[in-house]
Amino acid sequence: MSTTPLAQQPSSTQYFQKGLGLKAVAQGLLERDYHSHIVDYLRRHDFTLRIADMEIHLAQEFGFCYGVDRAVEYAYQAREKFPDRRILLTGEIIHNPHVNRRMLEMGIGFLSGQYSNGVSAENLTPEDVVILPAFGVTINEFKQFSAAGCILVDTTCGSVLNVWKRVEQYARGGFTSVIHGKYFHEETKATSSQATKYPGGHYLVVRNMEEAERVGDFILGKLSREALLAQFAKAISPGFDPDLHLQKIGVANQTTMLSSESLAIAERLKQIMITKYGADAIDAHFRNFDTICSATQDRQDAVMKLVTAHQLDLMLVVGGYNSSNTNHLAALASQYTRAYHIDDPRGLISAELIRHKPFGQSEEIETRGWLAAGPAKIGLTAGASTPNNKIGETVARLAELRGEKVEAWLND
């Protein structure tokens, strides 16, 4: 069900939220572009493949989640339904460079970001088709696109919409949304904007437990108003008054954050509010609902299962470097073994050299000696925006590094 107020919604002929009637066609094209028979083989064989002296274990939940698959499918449907119209994405449809470049190859442009080509929202006309990404868009952006009269294809993920509903509930009840996320991330921007739908609705975004503790320090009188406002200047709603707006808080999260951290932050803030107001009054000052994305949770759980079930020599995590959920998979795996986040199989330069991005760093680096000679147990997973063909190509590249052809080891 849409959470967009009816007064703001375009007509049904201009607004598509449940596909465009071309699912079968789009599925065929998606199969062509992203299928991997190697991944199919791994699924059929207990997610394990032996190649020479390597034992490769694929996490049992990986790659495209339902929301991502749906978003990409709708883009393919839009291209088929409107072959002669200009089609534009508001930004990256998902955080995967291969999928975004495929959009460009299909003649789908971008209104912002590294793939944009000079077209902006101000240039839109009623003849244009605009695709809203899985992350969603802010309220103001939605109003702007609707006012332009263009056709809107809304691919906002259902898990994101679920968080929006909670944030709206907080705002209606006079609670400030404290959002665990990255204030600059498209999803968090869209989510935080939902708090401003109602008069007096406010938000504050915390990146991690350390920032949550800083908020707690203010609530408990250990941090000045000026210090709080300075630290969170880019992560608060307009007109935010911490003395007023941190008296009643509700916790939400960017769906792709590390779930254990989101839960820990919520519990810590609850305890801070109990310290401030007392356990008997907690319901009047604190709210929290579980808005962890099930797909994000499933992929994190699968990594945990993999690293605890096998004594891995290393873990490869495949996905876009700007993908939050992929970064968190790498962080989780690194607690148990050597983990390398690569955005592409080409990062496996040789058995001696790998190009990857360490968790918490913004730039990729090259590391030597990552794959030693001799027997090796290798774990493999991929972020929710990584297509299966990139996972299969990673397995094939591992085989090449041992002087093997992967096909020779696919024995049904």
Identify whether 187 is a catalytic site residue.
yes
Sequence-ordered list of residues with C-beta below 8 angstroms from that of 46, at least 6 positions apart, any chain? none
Q: Show the tokens assigned to 210.
A: 């350390």
| b (16+ CB within 10 A) / e for 238-254 | eebebeebbbbbbbbbb
CA nearest neighbour of 91 among 119, 70, 67, 66: 119
Write the single-letter amino acid at 303.
V
Enumerate helices (H) and strands (E) in the chain, giving the number of each.
Answer: 14, 16
Name the phi and psi angles at 283, rounded to 5. -65, -25
- Which contacts of 232-239 are long-range, i.e. CB under 8 A and separated by 24 or more positions? 232/204, 232/205, 234/183, 234/184, 235/183, 235/204, 235/205, 235/206, 235/207, 236/202, 236/203, 236/204, 236/205, 237/192, 237/195, 237/196, 237/201, 237/202, 237/203, 237/204, 238/196, 239/202
Structure token digits, residue 293: 């994305």
The partner residues of 9 in beta bridges, in order of sequence, read none
Is the CB of residue 279 less than 8 Å from the CB of residue 212? no
45: number of Cβ within 10 Å: 14
Nearest to 87 by CA among 60, 117, 110, 64: 110
Terminal alpha carbon distance of the chain:
44
283 Cβ contact partners less than 8 Å away, ≥ 6 residues apart: none
CB 386 within 8 Å of CB 63: yes
As a whole number of angstroms, the distance between CA 178 and CA 160 comes to 16
Name the catalytic one among 186, 187, 211, 393: 187
Catalytic center residues = 187
